[in-house]
Amino acid sequence: MYKGLKSTRSEDDSIYTGSSGISLLNLHLYKTLGEEKEEKYLHTALQFLEKPLQHLKNKRYTFLCGDAGPLALGAVIYHKLKDDSMSKECIKRLEDLYYPVCKDYDIPNELLYGRVGYIYSLLFIQKHLGPESITNTIIPKVLRVIIEMGRKAAEEEKSHTPLVFTWHDKHYLGAAHGMVGIIFMLLQLDKQLLEPYLTDIKSCIDHLLSIQLPSGNFPSSLENKSSDKLVHWCHGAPGWIHMFLKAHELFGEKVYLQKAKQCSEVIWLRGLLKKGYGLCHGIAGNAYGFLSMYRTTGEEKHLYHAYMFATWCMEYGNHGCNTPDRPFSLFEGMAGTIYFLADLLHPLEAKFPAFEL
């Protein structure tokens, strides 16, 4: 992968398909393979992040495709390298982005380019550095804007749901650009913070249940309600499964777990894609659905399914899959495969101590 990155130099600094994504992969390897033994990954993470931090574009404010991603990564990596001054500077610059995020109503609310993508950046720092690392008024303010915009759009459209979100004038439903990704991110927030909005959020989830296709899959948008082509994290069951599992965790209703199981069956039957091995619309991204199911249910079949998809990924390039524009990137290419394999290693080793991947 590193040789490939050197031979395909790009000006892309994003986490999605750029050098920040390789930085995130190395931070992930540092955490999953053992911090004491694998500090080299932490230094490699910083090397891949230095250029993105010097070339922030001040145009997008999300984790995957904007300035917020490199800043959140920088805060964590510098902290782990004991450079608290640089870590705090990254946090301040990230927090300052909440002004345009809240004031610019042309910004969408979806994950890749919108407000929940900014929220993810804040949660990323809190996960690694603690809840107190982010000013406690910022997330509530961004959340309020998201809900207000969703309610306003629902009222204007006289919608059956209390919240409506669009992207490029389409009612996308999936994890990358649509309602499912927005709801999933909101469900990551503290329940007390969500309390005033939980009725609206749950009503939207329950309405989404009715959109399921006969195959068990879900369409990419309301405008394509009968289309059953896509089985990706970005559009289709592999993205929906995570929302259903989180809804089951929060609300405790069996119907959400049942829907997640149906999504898992769709992925098993149709999830080996010709599009590639990455996280967004590839096999590694689909396999995460099995890993999430295993972590929720403890049922070994889900771990087995994740392992079988992993073996497919490990035969990288031998299945006639398409070569993406960024073949070594995190969300389109090989880096995404490595990211998933690292996450899969611990549950496999815990279940089968003699296992080697």
Annotated binding site: 234, 280-281
Task: Dig out the tokens for 222 from the structure.
Answer: 């309301």
Contact by Cβ (8 Å): 328, 334? yes
Angle between the N-to-C axes of helices 334-351 and 300-314, in degrees from 0 to 180, rounded to the nearest 10: 140
CA-CA distances (angstroms) from residue 172 to 57, 205, 219, 232, 268? 26, 14, 9, 14, 24
Binding site members for Zn(2+):
234, 280-281
Instruction: State the amino acid at position 208 in one-letter form.
Output: L
Spatial distance between the Cα atoms of 59 and 299, rounded to a whole number of angstroms: 44
For 2-24, b/e burial (b = at least 16 CB within 10 A) is eeebeeeeeebbbbbbbbbbbbb
Tallying the residues shown for the chain, one arrives at 357
Contact by Cβ (8 Å): 264, 242? no
Residue 99 Cα to chain centre, angstroms: 23
CA-CA distances (angstroms) from residue 320 to 63, 275, 277, 314, 328? 31, 9, 11, 14, 17
Give 221's strand partners.
172
Give 340's strand partners.
none
| Nearest alpha carbon to residue 122 among 92, 147, 146 | 92
Task: Dig out the tokens for 328 from the structure.
Answer: 């070594």
Furthest-apart CA atoms within the chain: distance in Å: 59
Residue 70 Cα to chain centre, angstroms: 15
Spatial distance between the Cα atoms of 340 and 348, rounded to a whole number of angstroms: 12
